[in-house]
Amino acid sequence: MKEFSLIDKYFRPLTRDFTGALELRDDAGYLTVPAGQELVVTKDLLLEDVHFFGDDDPGLIAQKSLRVNLSDLAAKGARPLAYSLGLVLPLNRWEGVNDSWLAQFAKGLEKDQKQFGISLLGGDTTSGDQLTISIAAYGLIPNGRRILRGGAKPGDIVFTTGTIGDAGAVLYLKRKKMNVPPELMQRYLLPQPRLGLIEKLREAGAVNAAIDVSDGLMADLRHILDASGTGGKLYLKQMPVSPQAQDFINHFNVPLESLAGMGDDYEIVFTSPVSVQKQVQEIANSLNIPVQAIGEITVEKEYRIFNGQGQKIQPIKLGYEH
């Protein structure tokens, strides 16, 4: 199938509710930013055998590709608006199976567009050696209300949403060609963008800094500390772990610091003043988003990590390195 036929059949329908996409009939799309709003832009690139596997369900691959970008928007307290899609199909899939694969892929995007209130704006397709998906997502925040990595203050509590390590366990098991529990596979392919949480915390004055956890909990908290010019303590004993990930830990004798450095979690780590801890929990509960206190921000610029036994450790690697 030629590129323009592919666009007509699978991707033009994904723009039907967004006039700025011009039905993908022009060289560019258009975004209108309402008065009093700022545009937030993020972009993630996903590669086969790194962020997903070739035999994964195409619809779930599409949903994950969109959701990892929505997770970035969530960390900035932004409301989703639109996204652009770049898609590289391997030459050995360009003929034959691509029609069925693309139909399922497009259905996955359509499903999440409806769930999260976002629309396709534009993009590009080509052929190449490795299945590659690149998405840029656009969201809106009120003017001057940015929540950055660099806002953490000494005395803040460090929180994380959800559970940590599920995706890392999947990658370990898949690469060992071992069976993966379906609950872990679901978390790996369908991360839950924590949309609304940072937005509500910002409105309440209850958040100082936030980051999406993609490279690993330890590494991404390090990014907050570096950007804020502070130190911090991370207590891995308090890190939330799913029952399935705990089974993985027990079976393979994996230390918590390994799970905390595997990445691909797409949760949000954020810091809040200790005075609003109760408010943070109330807001999170109102959104049905689990949050857990896992550390604190310190004046001393040392980054101290404590393992499951409460011992200070120095991990060789904090997270995924690109």
Please say which residue of 109, 142, 175 terminates a domain: 142
Question: Would you state the pLDDT for residue 313?
Answer: 93
> 3-state class of 49 per DSSP?
coil
- How far is Cα 137 from Cα 83, in angstroms, rounded to an integer? 4
Residues 136 and 193 in one domain: no
Number of domains in the chain: 2
Question: Would you state the pLDDT for residue 128?
Answer: 84
Please say which residue of 100, 119, 142 terminates a domain: 142
Q: Where are the alpha helices (DSSP H) in 7-78?
A: 58-75
**What residue numbers bound the domain in which 306 lies?**
149-313
User: Would strands 132-142 and 37-47 be described as parallel, antiparallel, or unpaired?
Assistant: antiparallel
Question: Would you state the pLDDT for residue 2?
Answer: 67
Q: What is the dihedral of CA 72, 119, 30, 125, to 10 degrees?
A: 90
Q: What is the pTM of this model?
A: 0.94
Question: Would you state the pLDDT for residue 97?
Answer: 47
Task: Decide if 14 is inside a domain.
Answer: yes
Question: Would you state the pLDDT for residue 91?
Answer: 65
CATH code (residue 179): 3.90.650.10
Local mean pLDDT, 10-residue blocks, the chain (322 residues): 75 89 88 96 92 89 97 98 93 63 94 96 87 96 96 98 95 89 93 97 98 96 98 98 95 93 94 98 98 98 95 86 60
**Tens digits of per-residue pLDDT, 48-106?**
888 888 888 999 999 999 999 999 999 999 999 999 999 988 866 655 447 888 899 99
Query: Tell me, what DSSP letter sits at residue 12?
Result: G
- How far is Cα 197 from Cα 70, in angstroms, rounded to an integer? 13
- Residue 160: phi and psi, rounded to 5, are -130, 150
- How far is Cα 243 from Cα 181, in angstroms, rounded to an integer? 11
